Amino acid sequence: MLENYFFELVNKMGGLDILIYSAGIADKSGNWENELQQHNVNAIGFAAIANAAFQYFKLNKFEGQIVGFSSVLAYRGLSQAQTYCAGKAFVHNYLQGLRHTSKAEKLNIHITEICPGFVQTPMIENQTNTFWVTPIYKATQQITKAINNKKKRVFISKRWELIKIIIQFIPDCILYNSFLNGLIFRKKEMFSVRS
């Protein structure tokens, strides 16, 4: 069903070169309705659109590019952010799978994963103690550069890759009491805001 509408839209546009899925929401309430909504937007919605785009490129043997937004938080399940972390991990793995499929089937479909840290958008306006905040203009420049260069993955900004490495490999016993808990706490406060 969605695929048909997606193809209809693409036909109206006269083709498609790049699909960018930047949608993502977060909520810390723990309420199931809100959590389900997060899954639907962050994971199911993403998969539905990415799948439709992939099929469009594949069936028509077109060159194309699919860009998804995961997060630094895609690499570890963190306190009170399990839904968001899980959704972003889904995006990360889904994109990785699409990339491998594209290579295995010798398709000309490029897959790009964007991993943002803090970006200066309205959702962090009222936040305190944020750090390494990337101005929106700079973030857009870095994202579009990565898309133009058909990068596999890029962190926004680049130094957020360091946080990703720490989050990914730090042992649980240290993570529980580390400054990263504070980071996540501040991060989760943003979760009531659409991201």
Partner 1 sequence: MQKIIIVGAASGMGKSLALFYAKKNIVAVADKNITALQHIFSDKIASDLICEIDIYEIENARKLFF
Interface with partner 1 (CB under 8 A): 1-2, 5, 8-10, 12-25, 36-37, 40-41, 44-45, 48-49, 53, 69, 116, 119-123, 136-137, 139-140, 143-144, 194-195
For partner 1, give the closer residue by CB, 113 or 166.
113
For partner 1, give the closer residue by CB, 47 or 107.
47
CB-based burial label for 74 (10 Å; 0-12, 13-18, 19+) = buried
For partner 1, give the closer residue by CB, 35 or 75.
35
- d(C-alpha 155, C-alpha 33), whole Å: 31
For partner 1, give the closer residue by CB, 5 or 176.
5
Least distance in Å: CB of 147 to partner 1? 9
Least distance in Å: CB of 2 to partner 1? 6
Least distance in Å: CB of 58 to partner 1? 16
Least distance in Å: CB of 18 to partner 1? 5
For partner 1, give the closer residue by CB, 60 or 140.
140
Least distance in Å: CB of 179 to partner 1? 26
- d(C-alpha 20, C-alpha 54), whole Å: 12
